[in-house]
Amino acid sequence: MGATPRIYDEAMPESSGVRGVRGVKSAARTVALLELLAVRGDRPARLDELAEELGVPRSSMYQLLQTLIESGWVRSDTTGSLYGIGIRALLTGTSYLDSDPHVRVVRPYLDEASDALGETIHLARLDGPDVVYLATRESHEYLRTISRVGRRVPAHAGALGKALLAERPAHELPLPPDPLPALTANTHTTRTTLLADLAHVRARGYSTDHEETVQGIAGFGFALRYDSLPTDAISCSIPVSRLTPSHETRVIAVMQETRTKIENALPSAPGSPDWR
């Protein structure tokens, strides 16, 4: 689902200008490798595959892999020929969630909404053109969909992302060029249709997802406005087979109440870091 990470090739200088800061080629190469392994998930990679995909000499890639294996960021099979993401990535990701004050405060309210509705409840954060799931409370009524913590989904393709995109002016939307990637036959693939949908989101105060992320699943998304420009949202996902008009009305009411509780519990804290 994610794009192949960009990597500096051997001919590039050791630095490049990013926000006026010198970029380090070795650091960029390491990050690109870890992102690539993370995107591959349960599909381990061979040395030649990684070297080719990132445009890195085979010898350099081997040395980098061995360094990362020693530190736990990459793991290898018993033959030493297959590579995957290591346990250090999990520890770092867990630390991100545990150290985030918003996630800590929101979790109990996700529990409340899940108990009240019996449906799956999500918290996600906008990251470039995607949203990343930060917390999920699964329904016991149906099978898991795509709600794993850490999963990335294009922001234009679901309730969480559209709730956050609607908080931004059209010229500032972090969207790729048309055609937008489709996850189902119902996903918006043009900026024009997406913008029309976002206008409805602003008018209603919440977003809807009509099988745009997963076939057979509907969703309702609500931006959390505890930051001046919202980056977090909550949503409720429901199988369309269970979505009656009365249930939809209740879902919207409970989720609106949940949003209000969260926003009241998370006023801007003076002196707290303003994370980018």
pLDDT of residue 4: 43
Domains and CATH numbers, the chain: 17-86 (1.10.10.10), 100-265 (3.30.450.40)
What confidence tens digit (pLDDT) does each residue in 118-152 have? 999 999 999 999 999 999 998 877 655 555 788 88
155-175 average pLDDT score: 97
Q: How confident is the model at residue 12 (pLDDT cuts 50, 70, 90)?
A: very low
Contact 44, 84 (CB under 8 A): yes
> Would the pLDDT of 175 be above 90?
yes
DSSP state at residue 146: S
pLDDT of residue 2: 45
CA separation, residue 54 to residues 18, 32, 76 (Å):
20, 8, 19
Q: E-assigned strands of 95-214? A: 120-127, 130-137, 152-154, 207-210
% pLDDT > 70, the chain: 86
> Would the pLDDT of 37 be above 60?
yes
> Would the pLDDT of 260 be above 50?
yes
What confidence tens digit (pLDDT) does each residue in 186-212 have? 999 999 999 999 999 999 999 999 999
Q: pTM of the prediction?
A: 0.77
Contact 74, 198 (CB under 8 A): no
Residues sharing a CB contact under 8 Å with residue 125, sequence separation 6 or more, in sequence order: 131, 132, 134, 231, 232
Mean model confidence pLDDT for the chain: 87
Contact 166, 202 (CB under 8 A): yes
Contact 220, 233 (CB under 8 A): no
172-177 average pLDDT score: 95
What confidence tens digit (pLDDT) does each residue in 89-129 have? 888 878 888 888 899 999 999 999 999 999 999 999 999 99
> Would the pLDDT of 19 be above 70?
no
What confidence tens digit (pLDDT) does each residue in 61-94 have? 999 999 999 999 999 999 999 999 998 888 887 8
> Would the pLDDT of 46 be above 50?
yes
pLDDT of residue 184: 97
> Would the pLDDT of 8 be above 80?
no
> Would the pLDDT of 269 be above 70?
no
pLDDT of residue 127: 94
Question: Cα-atom radius of gyration of the chain, to the nearest Å?
Answer: 21
pLDDT of residue 268: 55
